[in-house]
């Protein structure tokens, strides 16, 4: 069944929708968002850390006026943490109260103990149970590659029919399916059965032009000249054989750091002092002594004047 959440009638409107939340999306990504919203399909975003996958879900929620429910995946994630669990402490108190009143052996007690009153809703169940009159939320399943494969298998029921089964209560189905965004940093491959239920998009590092536009929105205090120097330097770093190239998040952090230091332009000393905002591994930092930094800056200036 097609879904039409929000004013999304074209690829351009999807691009504008994200732009309203200061998310600069290139056309292919905007197309994937448009199709996911109109088809009611989960959107699977894969790419390096820091390229804006999580931010896209946040931007969607903000621009559509929906709640954002985030499930952060990790090794060992199970149903009790992701979907639901029973409030055992409250159940024990109820049993003691029933024993004190002489109702401990009544059949109604067991039914009461496994009623919605004692159910603790975790992100997936909360996303399926939209409040009456409310709009379905954006469900962000973040870094699925960190979870174990058995959890992926459990997700299939959710992604196929937007429902979960609670043995004591039955099947809970979403009245209005949530908008699902799944992200992966590709530390391992996600099973094909999960991907088949989604629309897929690889989120790459942005072009220089798009990264400059991102800085204009996310670090508006930076001058045009400084922003261009930052983008040019970061783009050259990504062309190097680094263990972990800086993502967009690092570009924004670095620019904001430079603003706090009242930097108007890049120089080898300033870059060397603040490089930890861009690179997070000692081996990468060691590859960029001041002489190398100076050479990269000179190369950027030469290209700018060519």
Predicted local distance difference test score (pLDDT) of residue 20: 94
3-state class (DSSP) for residue 244: coil
* Structure tokens given for 82: 């992701």
Predicted local distance difference test score (pLDDT) of residue 105: 60
Q: How many CA atoms lie within 13 A of 156 on its CB side?
A: 11
Domain ranges of the chain: 11-71+137-163+175-202, 84-113, 208-305
Predicted local distance difference test score (pLDDT) of residue 94: 79
Q: Is the dihedral of CA 74, 77, 80, 82 positive or negative?
A: positive
Predicted local distance difference test score (pLDDT) of residue 106: 56
Question: What are the backbone dihedrals phi and psi of residue 53, each rounded to the nearest 5 degrees, phi first?
Answer: -70, -50
Residue among 182, 3, 5 at smallest CA distance from 82:
182
**CA dist 183 to 23, 59, 71, Å?**
16, 14, 11
Predicted local distance difference test score (pLDDT) of residue 306: 53
* Structure tokens given for 11: 């690829």
CA-to-CA distance for 13 and 11, rounded, in angstroms?
Answer: 5
Predicted local distance difference test score (pLDDT) of residue 107: 59
DSSP state of 204: P
Predicted local distance difference test score (pLDDT) of residue 110: 63
Predicted local distance difference test score (pLDDT) of residue 102: 64
Query: What is the reported pTM?
Result: 0.87
Place of tokens 């959440």: 5
Predicted local distance difference test score (pLDDT) of residue 1: 43
Cβ neighbors of 136 (< 8 A, separation 6 or more) are 5, 66, 127, 130, 174, 176, 177, 178, 179
3-state class (DSSP) for residue 194: helix
Predicted local distance difference test score (pLDDT) of residue 5: 52
Place of tokens 């994200």: 18
Cβ neighbors of 203 (< 8 A, separation 6 or more) are 29, 45, 46, 47, 51, 52, 53, 56
* Structure tokens given for 31: 């197309």
- Give pLDDT tens digits along the chain (306 positions): 444 455 688 999 999 999 999 999 999 999 999 999 999 999 999 999 999 999 999 999 999 999 999 999 999 999 889 999 988 888 888 778 777 766 656 556 666 777 788 889 999 999 998 754 578 999 999 999 999 988 998 898 888 889 998 888 888 888 889 999 999 999 999 999 999 999 999 999 999 999 999 999 999 999 999 999 999 999 999 999 999 999 999 999 999 999 999 999 999 999 999 999 999 999 999 999 989 999 888 887 766 555
CATH (residue range 11-71+137-163+175-202)? 3.40.50.300
């Amino acid at each position: 069944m097609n879904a039409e959440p929000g004013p999304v009638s074209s690829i351009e409107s999807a691009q504008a929708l994200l732009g309203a939340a200061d998310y600069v999306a290139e056309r292919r990504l905007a197309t994937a968002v448009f199709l996911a919203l109109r088809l009611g399909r989960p959107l699977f975003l894969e790419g390096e850390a820091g390229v804006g996958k999580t931010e896209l879900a946040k931007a969607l929620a903000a621009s559509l006026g929906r709640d954002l429910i985030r499930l952060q995946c990790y090794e060992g994630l199970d149903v009790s943490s992701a979907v639901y669990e029973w409030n055992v402490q409250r159940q024990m108190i109820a049993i003691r109260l029933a024993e004190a009143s002489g109702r401990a052996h009544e059949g109604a007690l067991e039914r009461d103990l496994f009623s919605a009153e004692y159910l603790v809703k975790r992100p997936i169940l909360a996303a399926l149970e939209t409040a009456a009159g409310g709009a379905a939320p954006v469900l962000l399943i973040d870094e699925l590659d960190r979870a174990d494969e058995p959890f992926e298998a459990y997700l299939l029921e959710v992604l196929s029919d937007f429902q979960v089964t609670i043995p004591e209560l039955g099947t809970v189905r979403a009245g209005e399916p949530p908008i699902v965004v799944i992200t992966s940093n590709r530390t391992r491959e996600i099973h094909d059965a999960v991907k088949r239920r989604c629309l897929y998009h690889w989120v790459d590092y942005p072009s220089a032009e798009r990264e400059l536009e991102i800085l204009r929105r996310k670090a508006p205090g930076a001058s045009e000249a400084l922003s261009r120097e930052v983008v040019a330097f970061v783009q050259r770093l990504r062309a190097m054989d680094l263990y972990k190239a800086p993502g967009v998040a690092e570009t924004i952090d670095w620019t904001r750091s430079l603003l706090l230091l009242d930097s108007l332009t890049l120089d080898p000393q300033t870059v060397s002092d603040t490089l930890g905002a861009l690179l997070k591994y000692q081996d990468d930092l060691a590859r960029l002594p001041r002489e190398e930094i100076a050479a990269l800056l000179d190369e950027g200036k030469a290209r700018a004047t060519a």
